[in-house]
Every structure is written in C-alpha cells, then in structure tokens.
Structure 1
Amino acid sequence: MPPSMVFPLPGASVDLAQSDHQQVRIVNMNRRLSGDYQCEVSADAPLFHTDIRSAPLTVVDPPFRAPQITVSHRSYSRGDIIKANCSTDEAYPAPNITWILDEHKIAETVSWRPSELDWRERSAFSQLEVAVLELERYKMGVTYTSSSLNKVYHDHYVYDRDRDKEEKEVLRYTLVPPPSGQFALSCVATIFDIYTRNSEPVLIREDAPHPASVTGEDSSGRVHHASVTLTVAYACLLFNAL
C-alpha cells in the first residue's frame, strides 16, 4: 500500500488515472526524455525473480510549417536540367525528405540522426536535379503506359554521394518527357511514422513549340521544301498569264 507509486522525473508527469498494472501514461513529455524505456517485473520473497524488457522511445518535435519547395524554372525544353530545393523548419529529429513527381516517389534524402545526448532541433534540406531527355520532338503516336513510367522512375534515379563533396548532396533523376508536356514536382517531410506533411506542388510545363519557318520543320519534323516549290511555280504561271 498504496498499490501505485510515482517517483518524480523532471520533464514528465505520470497520469495515474489512465495508468494501471499493464500500462503507464506519461504526459507533458519533452524531447530530452527520448531513450530506452524499461519495464521490470519481480516476484516476492524469498527468490525475488526479476525480468526486464526495454524498448526505445523518441519524443518528436515536428516542424511548424509545411516543407518549402523552389525550382530554377517552371518551363523546360528537351535536354534541360531543372534544379529544385526542398527545405523544412527545425525539428527533432530532423525530417527525411522524399521527392514526388506526378504522385510517384523518385528520390529521398535521409537526415542525419543525432546522438543520444544531442537534443538540438535541426532543419532538413534536399537538392534535386531533373534532367529531361532529348527525344524526337513532338513525334505523333508515341505513348507511355503507367507500367513503363514506373520502370523509368526507378531505373533513372541516381544518388550521387561522392560528387562535389564541398556542396550539399545532390539527388539526380532522368525524366522521359511526359506526353502531356507537363509534370508536377513536390516534396514530403516525414519523421518516423507519426509526422508527414507535403509541400505545395509545382507545375512545370514544356515550352510551347514555335511555328515553323517556311523552309523549317513543322511540329512533326517534316521539311516544307515541296510546298515552297509549288508556291514558286504557281507565282510563275500567274506572271506569264499577265
């Protein structure tokens, strides 16, 4: 007696009304209470057999705002490289950042985990370069299925850890130009399985094709030499008739 006893622990309070012989409810926790938690069961005298189980616990301080995303430009031509940055506010621990392209996960930056005695909040930052492949421009009849898109996403993702050590680590991804000529890019900040927040998506469109010149190529790549010849011949006939 009493059947329950609480020992003081700075930074935490035990809610006895919600605690019993199977669970303990701790409230008002701060991140300094992260660590290994143990449950000890012991028998009575004379043997006092004891068994202990432990499990890690991390107290999370999530970021205040959603992740912020910026891109170098919101329109592209085939062969361009689009640079994008994603950043988060300070949190404990620092969030991981996942890049999303048209609802597909394409790359991830895993944040550094602090040591047991490091309680500082840290922000997270990730850089991504999207290289748009130079394919046949505006060729009709080319289609991409969802299965081929998934294959492209996974096969063309490159994580370049060793390049430019002095700079932030840069994730690189090669994109097959989508048939629609546009794609949405966003990033997601996550901390374990208890915090997830998306940035606002950024819509990136392909530059509109310019009208072909008289002797240039049209949108299908065909040259207009034949139409020029017909025009000149028709003009000569009109001149002779006059």
Structure 2
Amino acid sequence: MTTSMELKEGLARENTQCGAISIRLLELKIPMYAVKNQNVRLECHYDLEGETLYSVKWYKDGNEFYRFVPRDMPPAQVFPLPGVAVDMHNSSESQVVLSSVQLSTSGLYRCEVSGEAPYFQTVTENNRMTVVALPEEGPRITGGKPRYQIGDTVKVNCTSGRSKPAALLNWFINGEAADQSLLKGPHIIVTGREGLETSVLGLQFVVKQKHFKKGDMKLKCLATIATIYLKSNEQSIEGERPLRASVLESRGTVAPAESRADRVQAAGSRLFYNPRLSVLVLCCLLFRWLLMR
C-alpha cells in the first residue's frame, strides 16, 4: 500500500522531470573535517521563491535521521542512527546540530528541501564529512645527542601519538625539507578498539660541515592531519667547538708581561751593584776614620 509520504515524493520526482522547479538550494554548509567529541553544525540554506515549505530532511549515507515539517506538531523529528546524535534544541528548518561527533559519524550527508502541494518540488545536495581523532600532544623527537661533530651519524625518530587518521610527518634540517633518501619509514602502529594510529618517521644522515649554521644544527619534525591539525617540535644541536687553549697555542707562544713588581726589583738590583756608588761610600768611610785620629 502506497503511503501519503511516498505519494508526495513520487509527485516531487515527476515534477522535477517536467522542469516545474522554482525552489533553489542556495548553500549547503557541511565541514569537510570535524574533530572527535566536538559539536558540529550542518546548514542548509534555500529560497522557496514563493512556494510554501513542506519539509526539510537530512540523510547520512542514504538513511534519514532528521526531518522538519512546519505543519506537524512538533515540527522536528529524529530517527535513530548509529553515530548520529542530534541536538534538538539547536536544530531547525535550516540547520542540524550534531552533538559530540564520533569516528562513526563520518559519512555522506544530504539535505533535501520540498515545497507544498500540489507540486512538492524538491531540491537536494550532499557533501562528505570526516571526523578526525587528534593526538593528545605534539610530535616527539627521540634518539638525538646534544652535540655532534663532522663525521658523526645522526639517527633520530619523530613520533606522533594516537590519532585517526595517522599524522603525516615531515623532517626539516635547518629549515629545509630533508631529502627522501635520509628518511626511514613512516611506520604506522594501530592500537585500541577504534584503531587509532601512531606514526613514526626516522631521520638518518652523516654530519657534514654544511649541516652547521653558525655552529648549530636545527632538526624539526612537522605533524599534520588534513587541514585541521599542524604541530611541530624542533631541537637545536651544537657542533663540537675547539678549546680556547688550543686557539691560543695556534697563534704562537706569547711572552709573559713584565709586572710593576718585577720592574722595581730589577731597579733595586741595578742600584745595589753600582760601582761608582761603592767607591763613594768607601771614600766617606776613610775620611771619617782619618778625622777620628
């Protein structure tokens, strides 16, 4: 037996084929990506162009989960669907708010707007939304040393924590993207009931003079997920520097500076051994001895 709703939908399709459509769907706003556990607003803006609104329906992967019919009481109705939780208080004829979206909320969403009798003109449009689980913290760099010298081998890993999908990792040396030949991986580790993914990307190369900029080498790991997540971690590594004593030796031996005390002592030594002064002293002593006689 054909229901009233099925009859109206049949009329809508028939009138669509005959070109008797005046309703226009102006804009469908469905985010390409949404973050797990956040609320998401789906918007459907339309122009009835003089027609009376009969219904607005929302579908996920072909299954209806929300309907708004102005003349019904109440006008809004929800149909249970796994992964979809509708916030009835904030939903209306032009928008649907999904509460605390989960990975299972991902799918193809469609808005369908229909006018009243006798034509039940209908317009529809759809877009896909993917729910993303983000890492709890930014990427971590492990395996590095505080100092390297030319000829040493750098062998480090960058790890981005559990997410869905796995984070895309990139290495940079002094701000320039590392050559693909220096990369090891990526390796993806899947864990948990939801299949969250941990990504690891290694970097390995032999240190050369060109890797040091003003004595330092900077290693940065960048983690991205779609267009909604971008985090980085950077380590600054020092090159081995020559000791200061070695630098002084290379310039040649420097004679120690003469101190003031040395000059005074030298002056005293010259005064004590002056031969003229010695003769004068002896003459004075002889003259005094003659007077006393």
TM-score by length of 2: 0.49
Q: Which residue, out of 21, 27, 32, partners 2:104?
A: 32
Instruction: Tell me which amino acid in the other structure corresponds to 2:242.
Output: P
Q: Which residue, out of 232, 236, 244, partners 1:203?
A: 236
Deviation sequence 1:132-191 (CA, Å, 0-9, x none): 434xxxxxxxxxxxxxxxxxxxxxxxxxxxxxxxxxxxxxxxx54202x11332323222
Deviation for aligned residue 1:208: 1.3
Deviation sequence 1:81-121 (CA, Å, 0-9, x none): 3222011222111112233455x3625999799xxxx9521
Runs (5+) with no aligned partner, structure 2: 1-71, 256-293
1:119-198 matches, cutoff 5 A: 120-134=195-209, 175-179=210-214, 181-198=215-232
Q: Distance in 1 between matches of 2:200 and 2:94?
A: 41
Deviation for aligned residue 1:64: 2.2
In 2 relative to 1, CA 111–208 (structure 1 residues): closer, same or farther, beyond 3 Å? closer
Would you tell me which structure has more strand in proportion to its own residues?
Answer: 2
Aligned to 2:95, the other structure's residue is in SS state coil
Taking only the aligned residue pairs, the percentage that are identical comes to 31
Q: Distance in 2 between matches of 1:89 and 1:80?
A: 29
Higher relative contact order by CA 8 Å / sep ≥ 6: 1 or 2?
1
Q: Judge conservation of contact 1:98–1:105 (CA < 8 Å) in 2.
A: no
Instruction: Tell me which amino acid in the other structure corresponds to 2:197.
Output: R
1:1-242 matches, cutoff 5 A: 1=72, 2-101=74-173, 104=175, 106-107=177-178, 120-134=195-209, 175-179=210-214, 181-199=215-233, 201-210=234-243, 211=246, 218=250
Deviation for aligned residue 1:57: 1.1
TM-score by length of 1: 0.58
Q: Judge conservation of contact 2:138–2:232 (CA < 8 Å) in 1.
A: yes
Q: Higher Cα Rg: structure 1 or 2?
A: 2
Instruction: Tell me which amino acid in the other structure corresponds to 1:70.
Output: T
In 2 relative to 1, CA 60–119 (structure 1 residues): closer, same or farther, beyond 3 Å? same
Deviation for aligned residue 1:130: 4.5
Instruction: Tell me which amino acid in the other structure corresponds to 1:122.
Output: E
Aligned to 1:25, the other structure's residue is in SS state strand
| Root mean square deviation, CA, Å | 3.4
Q: Distance in 2 between matches of 1:98 and 1:39?
A: 38
Aligned to 1:65, the other structure's residue is in SS state coil
Q: Distance in 2 between matches of 1:208 and 1:195?
A: 39
Q: How many residues align?
A: 172
Runs (5+) with no aligned partner, structure 1: 135-174, 219-223, 232-242
Aligned to 1:13, the other structure's residue is in SS state coil
In 2 relative to 1, CA 195–105 (structure 1 residues): closer, same or farther, beyond 3 Å? farther
Q: Judge conservation of contact 1:94–1:111 (CA < 8 Å) in 2.
A: no
